[in-house]
Each structure stands twice: as structure tokens, then as C-alpha cells.
Amino acid sequence: METDYNQFKGLGEAELEKLEQEVIKVRATISCSSCGYNKKFRNNFRLKDMEQMVVSLKCFDYMTCSCGQLLELNLEFEI
């Protein structure tokens, strides 16, 4: 996924600063239904750094448990 940076071209400096300061708080819970494994992670992403969040979520999505089962990923967002 690529970000189109041209979409911010017409914004003034004050608007750009506000956009950079907007933070998305994410809490990810990974769990295994077979063995009961449960782990929570938290991170904050600025709106302009959305690509970092997408990469992190793709890594979580393919994690497997030590028992061999694919882990379940649940997300909570606070915008």
C-alpha cells in the first residue's frame, strides 16, 4: 500500500502540523484458541505514518503459536 503524498499539497502549514500530530492509538490482542495463549500489544501511530501501522498488522496477521495454530488477531482503535 502506497501513500499518495500529493493529497496534502494544497494544505497550509498549520493544517499539516495538525495532521502530523493526530495520533491513532492501536491495541492488538493475539490469542490462540487451542492452548489459551494471549498477549496484548499497544502502539501509537501518527496519521501521516499510516503505512507503518499497515506493515505491523501484516506481520501480526501471519503469526503462529508454538502449538502450531494460527493466532487470532483482534484490534482496538482510538482515533
Amino acid occupying residue 8:
F
Residue 4 pLDDT greater than 60, yes or no: no
Distance CA 73, CA 17 (A): 32
29-79 pLDDT, tens digit per residue, is 999 999 999 999 898 888 777 787 788 778 777 788 889 898 998 989 887
Whole-prediction pTM value?
Answer: 0.60
